[in-house]
């Protein structure tokens, strides 16, 4: 019996600590080979951005239809609303010949008309025949038609489309791109064969050029070629997305930099290197001053001074400023007037200065439970703990096991700071100088106590001053069946734990009371109960660690 109780307690705090010390890491983008040089990773971010947008907006209309430009066609559905003594609504569908049939009015030919022209004609016809004063015509649903797609896609086919679908969405309906498919030299052949439109998805996704990804019409045919292995342009160095990009006619220096998502704050713009292949092994090198581009490059509609067209094989290299240091900052979140990130001077900026900058605490702030995390402590690696974490507990020595348990239960990175003392006396030792990446989380006052385990009504109960743990258990309906009353635990909101019978503590808002069962439990049952009681604490810990990881 003692062993199961001990296991219960150990699992509870190991789970609590493991969760509270972990922070989700950004997973690297999955690598796709989409365009350009075989075996290289080109345009992957453009592809993934496009695929994400397509999935998130599936079935959505990009914007309202313009009645003056939308051409009605077969299967478009119209709703005609007639206001009269006998008001009624009539739904009609455009026939394959481009006509509609309106009861009591007759056939109306809409072939070749825009929506606004059709609306005017229908209103005129209905008013003349039915002698009514008000008629409204709405486009209820847009037609579907067939579009064919071939080339470097997973499933060349004829697919269903609407007049709001763009070429990228048709490609997605065909299963997406094959390896080394071109994103920049796609061809859209209109039904009549008189117009061939070049599609450039890189310009659409990264420069916002909608005409580079046009909408389709019935009978269109899309051809997705494979990218040429040798036709590329390249940018490296201090830009946000360095790499090689498939070349397309019309590319310029500014478009290449925009494909790379622009400069960083450390880019050295007065000496950008440009290299062009002349013949064979001969190269032409230029040093460019792009200082004027700093504030203009992120606006794709801005024409930049001294811009020039690129050729296949052109390369650009952007150097980084020497001895540049990223500005240091700290983060404060939660119940303060102006939460956010603040610059910090590591020689003079103290907690009191940060509180003044953020406007101070709100009325709902729980000053006693503020969490202060020092990133520098989180980054410290304990080689001994790393070693022990790879050893089963049964193989540890007695001293190793004690050390392991003490470190597992340690609240890594957390510093004990008395903020009330800082408010009362800014000269107190608690008013420490802040360091880069320090994080402070100010929780809202919690007016509840969480009671879990073998009680009749587990859950949150209102906090009552001067109540002891037995009083709170009574509020939760009393001890439940086979409750182990002697093993009841009180877990403070900051993680400290006490045997409920010790009485050397005070129950405060946000605390937890756990009543374990007497019977033997499976590991899964113990594990699940431990997770339940720690859920509130883990939520706060997750928020804090997410703040810490902000860069």
pLDDT digits (tens, 9 = 90+) for 163-203: 888 999 999 999 889 888 999 999 999 877 778 999 999 88
C-alpha torsion sign, points 73, 79, 82, 88: positive
Strand order in the sheet with 439-442: 340-343, 329-334, 439-442, 371-373, 414-415
pLDDT, average across residues 411-434:
89
Close Cβ partners of 338 (under 8 Å, ≥ 6 residues apart) = 357, 358, 359
Q: How many CB atoms lie within 10 A of CB 138?
A: 13
Q: Cα(269)–Cα(291) distance, rounded to whole angstroms?
A: 5
Torsion angles phi and psi, residue 55, rounded to 5:
-65, -40
Q: Which of 8-17, 137-146, 489-498, 530-539 has the least mean pLDDT? A: 8-17
pLDDT of residue 100 exceeding 70, the answer is yes
| Lowest-confidence segment of 131-145, 371-385, 447-461, 480-494 by average pLDDT | 371-385
User: In this predicted model, what pLDDT tens digit does every residue of 205-222 receive, in sequence order?
Assistant: 888 888 999 989 888 999
Superfamily of 144-224 according to CATH: Outer membrane lipoprotein wza domain like (3.10.560.10)
- What mean pLDDT, rounded, does the chain reach? 80
Q: Which of 269, 195, 282 is nearest to 239 (CA)?
A: 269
Q: Are 501 and 486 in contact (CB under 8 A)?
A: yes
Per residue in 331-377, pLDDT tens?
999 999 999 989 888 788 999 999 999 999 998 898 888 989 998 88
For 522, counting Cβ atoms within 10 Å of its Cβ (0-12 exposed, 13-18 middle, 19+ buried), the class is: exposed
CA 504/CA 360 separation, integer angstroms: 33
Contacts of residue 176, defined as CB under 8 A and 6 or more positions apart, other chains included, come to 51, 153, 154
**Domain parsing of the chain, residue ranges:** 2-23+446-538, 77-140, 144-224, 232-320
Please state which of the four CATH numbers 1.20.810.10, 3.40.50.300, 3.10.560.10, 3.40.50.1220 is assigned to the domain occupying 2-23+446-538: 3.10.560.10
The answer to whether the CB of 223 falls within 8 A of the CB of 150 is yes
Q: What SS3 string covers 39-83?
A: CCCCCHHHHHHHHHHHHHCCCCCCCCCCCCCCECCCCCEEEEEEE
State yes or no: pLDDT of 287 exceeds 90. Answer: yes
CA distance 200 to 43: 12
- What are the DSSP E strand ranges found in 368-465? 371-373, 414-415, 439-442, 448-453, 459-462
DSSP conformation letters of 452-479: EESBSS-EEEE--TT--HHHHHHHTTSB
Nearest Cα to Cα of residue 440 among 353, 544, 337, 514: 544
CA 200, 203, 206, 208 dihedral sign is negative
Three-state secondary structure call for residue 206:
helix
Residue 272 has pLDDT above 80, yes or no: yes
Rounded (10°) angle between helices 2-21 and 523-548 = 20
Confirm whether 144-224 and 232-320 share one CATH topology: yes
Angle at Cα 218 formed by Cα 216 and Cα 219, nearest 5°?
A: 105
pLDDT of residue 485: 86
Query: In the CATH scheme, what is the code of domain 232-320?
Result: 3.10.560.10
pLDDT of amino acid 30: 31
Residue with tokens 């009543």: 515
As a whole number of angstroms, the distance between CA 300 and CA 258 comes to 7
The per-residue pLDDT for range 522-551, each reduced to its tens digit, is: 555 555 555 555 554 555 555 555 555 544
Four-CA torsion 490, 494, 496, 502, nearest 10 degrees = -40
**Phi and psi angles of residue 489, each rounded to the nearest 5 degrees, phi first:** -115, 150
Second-level CATH architecture of 77-140: 2-Layer Sandwich (3.30)
Q: Which pLDDT score is estimated for 6?
A: 43
Owner of token pair 């720690």? 534
Residues 20-36 as b or e (16 or more Cβ within 10 Å = b): bbeeeeeeeeeebbbbb
Q: What is the mean pLDDT of residues 409-432?
A: 86
DSSP 257: H
Q: Rg of the chain over CA atoms, in angstroms? A: 34
Residue 148 confidence (pLDDT) above 90: yes
What are the two backbone dihedrals, phi and then psi, of residue 335, each rounded to the nearest 5 degrees? -85, 65
Helix (H, G, I), strand (E, B) or coil at 107: strand
Residues 489/500, Cβ–Cβ less than 8 Å: yes
* DSSP code for 484: -
What is the mean predicted confidence (pLDDT) over 69-88? 87
Q: pLDDT class for 49, splitting at 50, 70, 90? A: low
* Residues paired with 246 in a beta bridge: 232
pLDDT in tens, 435-445: 988 999 998 88
Query: What pairing do the DSSP bridges indicate for beta strands 232-237 and 315-320?
Result: parallel
Give the predicted TM-score (pTM) of the model. 0.49
């Amino acid at each position: 019996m003692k062993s199961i109780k001990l296991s219960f307690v150990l699992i509870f705090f190991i789970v609590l600590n493991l969760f509270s010390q972990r922070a989700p890491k950004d997973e690297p983008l999955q690598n796709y080979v989409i365009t350009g040089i075989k075996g290289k990773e080109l345009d992957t971010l453009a592809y993934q951005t496009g695929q994400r947008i397509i999935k998130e907006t599936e079935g959505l209309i990009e914007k309202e239809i313009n009645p003056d430009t939308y051409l009605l066609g077969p299967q478009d559905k119209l709703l005609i609303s007639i206001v009269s003594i006998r008001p009624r609504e009539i739904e009609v569908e455009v026939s394959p010949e481009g006509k509609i049939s309106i009861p009591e009015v007759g056939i109306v030919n809409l072939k070749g008309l825009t929506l606004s022209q059709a609306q005017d004609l229908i209103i005129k016809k209905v008013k003349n025949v039915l002698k009514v004063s008000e008629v409204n015509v709405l486009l209820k649903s847009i037609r579907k038609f067939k579009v064919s797609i071939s080339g470097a896609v997973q499933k060349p086919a004829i697919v269903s489309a609407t007049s709001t679908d763009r070429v990228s969405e048709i490609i997605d309906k065909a299963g997406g791109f094959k390896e080394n498919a071109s994103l920049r030299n796609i061809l859209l052949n209109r039904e009549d064969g008189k117009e061939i439109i070049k599609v450039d998805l890189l310009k659409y996704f990264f420069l916002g050029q909608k005409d580079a990804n046009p909408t389709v019409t019935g009978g269109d045919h899309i051809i997705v070629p494979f990218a040429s292995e040798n036709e590329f342009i390249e940018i490296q160095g201090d830009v946000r997305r360095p790499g090689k990009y498939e070349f397309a006619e019309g590319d310029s220096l500014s478009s290449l930099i925009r494909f790379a998502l622009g400069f960083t704050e450390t880019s050295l713009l007065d000496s950008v290197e440009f290299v062009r292949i002349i013949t064979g092994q001969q190269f032409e090198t230029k040093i460019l001053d792009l200082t004027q581009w700093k504030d203009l490059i992120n606006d794709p509609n801005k024409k930049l001074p001294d811009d020039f067209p690129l050729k296949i094989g052109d390369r650009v290299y952007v150097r980084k400023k020497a001895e540049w240091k990223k500005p240091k900052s700290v983060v404060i979140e939660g119940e303060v007037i102006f939460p956010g990130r603040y610059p910090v001077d590591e020689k003079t900026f103290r907690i009191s200065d940060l509180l003044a900058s953020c406007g101070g605490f709100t009325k709902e702030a729980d000053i006693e439970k503020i969490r202060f995390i020092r990133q520098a402590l989180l980054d410290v690696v304990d080689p001994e703990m790393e070693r022990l974490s790879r050893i089963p507990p049964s193989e540890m020595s007695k001293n190793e096991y004690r050390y392991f348990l003490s470190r597992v239960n340690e609240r890594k990175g957390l510093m004990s700071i008395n903020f009330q003392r800082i408010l009362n006396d800014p000269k107190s030792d608690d008013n420490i100088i802040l360091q880069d990446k320090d994080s402070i989380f100010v929780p809202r006052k919690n007016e509840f106590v969480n009671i879990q385990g073998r009680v009749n009504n587990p859950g949150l109960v209102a906090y009552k001053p001067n109540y002891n743990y037995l009083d709170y258990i009574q509020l939760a309906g009393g001890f439940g069946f086979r409750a182990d009353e002697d093993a009841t635990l009180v877990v403070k909101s900051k993680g400290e734990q006490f045997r409920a019978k010790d009485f050397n503590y005070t129950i405060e808002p946000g605390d937890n009371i756990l009543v374990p069962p007497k019977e033997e439990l499976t590991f899964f049952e113990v594990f699940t109960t431990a997770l339940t009681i720690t859920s509130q604490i883990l939520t706060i810990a997750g928020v804090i660690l997410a703040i810490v990881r902000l860069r």
